[in-house]
Chain A
């Protein structure tokens, strides 16, 4: 009798131990891959979705300036623009920063004489309707999976000039071209996101890390479809 009792007790223990072990393993296993999120149009993995690098064609209407506005030739030539095709571009500083500083178009387009060049709506007047505002930007350089809610920031009431082109050049992937500059130290020094994220205007860059750094896991959950295309599945397999 006694032997039987012992055997039964031992059996019970084994079963219980088995259950406990499995529970243990499950508890430590990483979260299983999430089902793919709803279809989202993104041009490619980790890239931002901004405007064409080159300004669109016919961004400047000579006619509307001469005929409609009635400007004389010497309003612009040769002080602002030389009378030679491509000469302005060749100077190398034909960009929004110069316009802001009152050069080229910025001589008149300062918000007083003519519409300014960096307002939320006026960008499109010259750069055309192909300029798409990205909803979410994901940076992968220098570290992976850092998210920026572009739409959220625009909805907050910020206009293009709040960030472009001083904190961020308005071009897809521009910040990521300089991984040695695009660092947390730069942010702490008031560059890039640090322009606002300094603890006064918005939460400081050295706090709440995971708000922007959503991690590879966060990224894969958010953009499940895109991540699979890239084939980056390491560490996400089932055990």
Chain B
């Protein structure tokens, strides 16, 4: 039956609806309500892995990758000069409508009529449990087995954009030129694989907000920062369970 035929049909009304059908409908409604209520109650109980709020130290003896690339953001040093964004655009040929890293801005009340601005640099968190990888139907995006970097194989990408919806960090955009989703890969192809020790954004930052390195190496600066005692280290959206590898702290 096509849509034109449907339009010609008369409205049957509800008077003659068999009670069985009503019951079925109500049952479906109850099932859905129950499902959501169940979810709500579950969410009130303590989160299984609430420790992921601080994320880093794995309970097993070591980090899963080697080098386990990660980045620490010393957030309060960021002044939104956006040199990191400029360097990234140049190095990785990011089109004007796209982004691999961004600076978010937040205004916080610190007293009566007193406000402060907080800038938060964001990029792909190279999660240990990346939701984008889980949803990709063509395995175009995957965790690099050695470094743990979430990489794109643009040839395999079919542009379904499911990964963009799945990413909790809004770290992906669709690149019209290559007809594939593009994202930060810690400058793996443009710098790290050419022997450079850090990413373009890290090199460009005048305030040393970003610290990049191997989290599995106890002598690296990132390891020392993330494991420093008496320091609050946090990750973004820990509740997603994605176990991100970009850590935030105040210097």
Which residues does A use to contact B, with CB under 8 Å? Answer: 1, 4-5, 8-9, 12-13, 16, 21, 24-25, 28-31, 142-146, 208-211, 213-218, 233-235, 237, 239
A202–B126 Cα gap in the complex (Å)? 42
A207–B166 Cα gap in the complex (Å)? 38
**Least CB separation from B85: chain A residue:** A235
Contact A235 B79 (CB under 8 A): no
Contact B79 A209 (CB under 8 A): yes
Report if B14 contacts A (CB, 8 A): no
A5 contacts which of B27, B77, B85, B164 (Cβ < 8 Å)? B27
Contact A16 B36 (CB under 8 A): yes
Report if B168 contacts A (CB, 8 A): yes
B99 neighbours in A (Cβ, 8 Å) = 235
Q: How far is the CB of B27 from chain A (nearest CB, A)?
A: 6
A21–B83 Cα gap in the complex (Å)? 31
Contact B35 A235 (CB under 8 A): no
B83 neighbours in A (Cβ, 8 Å) = 143-144
Q: Give the interface residue-count category, chain B.
A: 35 or more
B80 contacts which of A1, A12, A215, A234 (Cβ < 8 Å)? A215
Which residues does B use to contact A, with CB under 8 Å? Answer: 20, 24, 27-29, 31-32, 35-36, 76-77, 79-83, 85-86, 89, 96-97, 99, 102-105, 116-119, 122, 164-166, 168-170, 173, 206
Contacts A8-B32, A215-B79, A215-B103 given: A25-B173 contact, CB under 8 Å?
no
Contact A216 B31 (CB under 8 A): no
Contact A239 B80 (CB under 8 A): no
**Least CB separation from A16: chain B residue:** B36
A235 neighbours in B (Cβ, 8 Å) = 82, 85, 99, 102-103
**Least CB separation from A7: chain B residue:** B28
Q: How far is the CB of A148 from chain B (nearest CB, A)?
A: 14
A1–B21 Cα gap in the complex (Å)? 9
B122 neighbours in A (Cβ, 8 Å) = 28
Contacts A31-B105, A218-B105 given: A5-B31 contact, CB under 8 Å?
yes
Contacts A143-B206, A210-B116 given: A216-B81 contact, CB under 8 Å?
yes
Contact B117 A215 (CB under 8 A): yes
Name 8 extra pairs, CB < 8 A, besides A1-B20, A215-B79.
A5-B27, A5-B31, A9-B32, A24-B168, A209-B79, A210-B117, A215-B82, A216-B103
A217–B96 Cα gap in the complex (Å)? 16
Contact A213 B168 (CB under 8 A): no
Q: How far is the CB of B60 from chain A (nearest CB, A)?
A: 30
A24 neighbours in B (Cβ, 8 Å) = 165, 168
Contact A233 B102 (CB under 8 A): no
Contacts A25-B170, A216-B82, A233-B96 given: A5-B24 contact, CB under 8 Å?
yes
Contacts A142-B206, A208-B116, A234-B96 given: A216-B28 contact, CB under 8 Å?
no
Which of A142, A210, A218 has the most chain B CB atoms closer than 10 A to its own CB?
A: A210
Contact B80 A216 (CB under 8 A): yes
A215 neighbours in B (Cβ, 8 Å) = 79-82, 103, 105, 117, 119
Contact A218 B96 (CB under 8 A): no
Contact A5 B28 (CB under 8 A): yes
A217 contacts which of B24, B27, B103 (Cβ < 8 Å)? B103
B24 neighbours in A (Cβ, 8 Å) = 1, 4-5
